[in-house]
Structure 1
Amino acid sequence: MTASATVLLDVDGTLIDSFPGIREGFVRALKSVGHPLPDDEFIARIPGPPMRDSMYAAGLNGDEVARAMLVYSEYMSGEGWRRFTVFDGMLELIEGWKADGLGVVTATSKSEHFARLALEETGMWPHLDFLGAANYDAGRITKIDVIRHVLDSVDPARPLMVGDRIHDFHGAAEFGIPSVAVTWGYGTPEEWAEATHIAHTPDELDEIVRNHVAAQ
């Protein structure tokens, strides 16, 4: 990429609030295999990590996860992926970064299929240089896998990872990439502390990104 710097964006909890659809899909999936639901605190943390990881963490075994994922995917392919809202200011930030010559890509644990559907619906898709997303069949499952895929595919200039969960910050650190925690997502203060920077508002995020560009 020829941009002076590149913003790597998580999707769920960073660009969009997709919790309503993800929660409903998770609940339906666990009920389909007769597994008891975990408490609300656990469910509040399912956006972000790979869904299979959340199901294993909820106590499902391998066979149950395989069957539950079929139900989850079926629901998300229908109404589930549509149940989201865009966080205020995020579309405008992406438009501004692109207009000023920054690279903008995603690095999400959301599947390629559902990530593209959501990003097209938001109007963000035309402003993205690359879709970095999970692909279970390709063995691209963890956030580290996804970030490696982005780095290998587009060789982004001076990347900066923006996300809301600890997987984003640890994934970035694996490659020596600085990170920004956004507090409007699904993370906790303990998770945000693992990031290089913390943004409480879109304006603060924009300032951090601009300072990153200026520091080259």
Structure 2
Amino acid sequence: MTKQQKTLLFDLDGTLVDSFPGIRTSFLHTLKEKNWPIPTEERIARIPGPPMEWTFQDLGMTQAQAQEALKTYIEHYGLVGWDLSEAFPGMRDLLIRLKEQGFRLCTATSKGEFFAEKVLRKFEMFDLFEFLGAATDNGNRRSKPAVIKHVLDSVGLEEPSDILMIGDRSHDIEGSKEFGIDCVAVTWGYGEESEWAHARYCATDAEELERIIHEWA
């Protein structure tokens, strides 16, 4: 590692934890509550990543309907969904090693702050991060670029070459690119090859991710 401290921005859903079972459960509950048509399993598989209200609008809801659906989703997710997550193998141990090696660790997730903290605490990852960069449930910080900017401003990060984003979806790749930050696409999440192709790096497991991080640094 160089003398300049390197900062790693970690996505949460699909990167550190497998949150799809809970997201799927709360998503389907919301659609049933709103008497909205249930999409195909192929479409449901793509819901983790972007803000949930965007997904509701993509299914044909108006902005107002999507906001009401989001309230129902958050309520159910808070009761049931969040606790259905499981940590991806090797990720907590990797975070521990990276922190010990002097990397600054921050999250950059489109998940709301409240649930992001609950999930990270469940898997004993929360205290490994210097800063929790997350979306706001009621506010204008919802997109991945907005979250990344929040992290950069809050931590005082200015040099893109000293920052690396790690995520699984196109939102992570495109969001970080807006700030000139390279991204590692992880293939164990919810993205597809067509998304990963736009990332600077690609990792298939925690061991390969660790190697890429050290080569980058």
TM range (shorter): over 0.9
Deviations 1:165-214 (A, max 9, x none): 0000000100000000000000000000011100011111001111121x
Give the equivalent residue in structure 2 for 1:175: 179
Q: Which residue of 2 aligns with 1:15?
A: 16
Partner of 1:186: 190
Q: Where do 1:56-67 residues align within 5 Å?
A: 56-67=57-68
State the alpha-carbon separation in 2 of the partners of residues 193 and 183 from structure 1.
11
**Other structure's SS at 1:108 match:** coil
Give per-residue Cα distances to partners, 1:57-83, cap 9 Å, x unaligned: 111122321221121111111121101
The answer (yes or no) to whether the contact 1:3–1:103 under 8 Å persists in 2 is no
Cα-Cα RMSD: 1.2
**Does the Cα contact within 8 Å between 1:33 and 1:64 map onto a contact in 2?**
no
- Aligned pairs for 1:38-117 (under 5 A) are 38-117=39-118
User: Aligned residue pairs: how many?
Assistant: 212
Alignment of 1:84-163 (within 5 A): 84-156=85-157, 158-163=162-167
Q: Which string of whole-angstrom CA distances, capped at 9 and with x for unpartnered residues, describes residues 17-55 of structure 1?
A: 000000011111111111101111110000011001111
Distance 2:38 2:75 in 1: 19
Residue type at the aligned position of 2:87 = V
CA shift at 1:3, angstroms? 6.4
User: Is 24-33 or 115-124 further displaced after alignment?
Assistant: 24-33
SS at match of 1:181: strand
Q: Name the SS of the counterpart of 2:110 in structure 1.
A: strand
Q: Which runs of 5+ in 1 are unaligned?
A: none
Aligned mate of 1:210, from 192, 211, 214: 214
5+ long unaligned stretches in structure 2:
none
| TM superposition score normalised by structure 2 | 0.95
